[in-house]
Each structure stands twice: as structure tokens, then as C-alpha cells.
Amino acid sequence: MIVTAVAASHVPARLGRFVLRRCPPHLYVAYALLWVLGLEGSAATLDGAAWRPSGATWIRVVSVVLALLFLRMLDEQKDLAHDRVHHPDRPLVTGAITGRELRGAMAAITVVVTVLNAALSVTDVPLILVALVYGLSLAPLERLAPALRDRPLLGLAVAYPVQLLLGCYVYGSLVAAGTVTADTRGAVLLALCACVFLHFEFARKTAWESPPGAGLYSSVLGPRRAVAVTGGFAAGAVLCEVLLFAPRGPLALLPCLAALLPVHGTRRFLAVRHGGWPMSTATGFVAVTHLALAVRSMVLP
């Protein structure tokens, strides 16, 4: 009993070290914050409502942060066999954290997001939980269909919807609260966010070389085709912005200037012809786009 109690007392510190290493707060929290603010602010202003972040906004931000942490913990367990071969320094492989500890943390996260969202609306609870349940379904699905791991593009097609479900949670929560009225503009706004994320996702897995076990999209498409897809998602984001905001005047299109970052990234990648995509441009595109969407929603009518 004493040994167990001592070991249990170490779990929070072990989880803290895991989070700092595998889910850096300055990245995960910043992404969730900017994503939710950009999506919520744009949805409200498109619907003609004045918008400022509210208490409900911060519940949505915390819920998305916790959901992303839940999914990261899930991926660590799902990828354990692969990591033992290709990433032997990962916390779960080295024993710095255990699967049981991660599952306990995931259960706690589920309880917290359920309680938080129950305070907003009974509709919000299933909206956030469906994203977590979908994530949980991926592990048995990969065991039944190994091609999902062996074929990166197929794996992305199956795994990506969890991000889309989180976007639907934020938008659906706004609809449930009466902040916005659901219409086709909501679908275009979610497509905008999807294009921004997928630009980053393809950028981080596009390189001229393909190390064993890397699972790069460029190893399937070839570097130049991967560049076209990566740039295409950035162009798709700009197109969605134009469709949504062009009628509101030229100032409403200022977030489109973030597309200069993917343009620079594309030119640099093609000019250097070795190594990976310059991730500072892809990360910057995500951050600047969502930040610009949020600021525009607070500044422009």
C-alpha cells in the first residue's frame, strides 16, 4: 500500500513532463485559443452579431485544449509499436509514462469536458464527446485495417475528421447558444479552418528525402505533387475567405495576407531542394490566419 501510494504521488509530475514534451502548451494552447477565437468571432460577425469573447468562449477554448491533449495521449498509445522501432526515446517507450497513467488522464479529461459543457448546454456535451469517441475508434480500426497505418493518405482521410468534429463542436455550440443561425456560411467557415489545418499537416510531412518510417505524404505523391497539394490547401483557405468576406469590403479581406507565408514557404522549399518544408511559414500561416480572423471580428462591423 505504501509503495502504491508513493507511486501514485508521482503520477501528476510524470504526466506534467509528458505534456511538456509531447503536447507543448505554448503550441497546443495557442492553437486552440486562436482557432476557437477565429472561428467563433467569424461565425458571429457573419451572422450580423457584435462579438467579444465571453465566458462560454473560454469554456470552448479549454474544451478544445483538453480534447487535443486527449487525442495526443491516445496517439501515443496507438503508435507504441511504431515508436518502439522508429522513436525509441518517446515517453511511453522509455517508461517515463505508462499506458495506464495516460488512460487515467484521458478518463479525467472526459469528465472535465463533460462537466464544463453541461454548464453551457445539454447539446454541447454530445458535440464534444463525439470527437473523443471518434478518436477512440481509430485504434481498433487501425488494428482491423493495417493499411491505414501503411498508407499515409488513407490514414489522414480516416483520422482527419476528428479535427473537423472539434470545429463542428465550436460552431454547434454557438448555434445551441443562439449566437448564430446555422446556414451554408458555417460550412464554408469550417472548410476555411480545414484548409488552414491541412496546409500545416501536409507541410510537416513534405520533404525531398523520405527516411524509413517517416510516413511522409511526399513519399507517396512525390515532393512536387506534395507541394501542389500543400499550396492548394492554402489557396483553398483564401478562396473561402473571399467567398465569406468579400461582400463586406476590402478591409474584411486583410486575413488573406497571411497567404504570403505559404507562398514564401513554397518558393523556399522548391529553391533549396533538400530537407523538409520550412515549418515556420506553415505554423505562421495557421497562427496569423486565425489571429487575423479574430481581430477582424472585434474591429470591423
Q: State the DSSP string of 16-50.
A: HHHHHHHS-HHHHHHHHHHHHHHHHHHHHHHTT--
Per residue in 227-275, pLDDT (tens digit) is 999 999 999 999 999 999 998 888 888 889 999 999 999 999 999 999 9
Domain ranges of the chain: 9-182, 183-301
Task: Let me know if the fold of 9-182 is the same as that of 183-301.
Answer: no
DSSP state of 209: S
Nearest alpha-carbon partner for 167 in 138, 194, 185, 132: 194
Q: State the DSSP string of 80-95.
A: HHHHHHH-TTSHHHHT
Which CATH architecture fits 183-301?
Up-down Bundle (1.20)
Whole-model pTM over 0.85 = yes
Nearest-angstrom CA–CA distance, 84 and 182: 46
Per residue in 35-77, pLDDT (tens digit) is 999 999 999 999 888 899 999 999 999 999 999 999 999 999 9
- From the options 3.40.50.1820, 1.10.10.10, 3.20.20.150, 1.10.357.140, give the CATH code of 9-182: 1.10.357.140
Nearest-angstrom CA–CA distance, 125 and 116: 8
Question: What's the whole-number mean pLDDT along residues 187-204?
Answer: 97
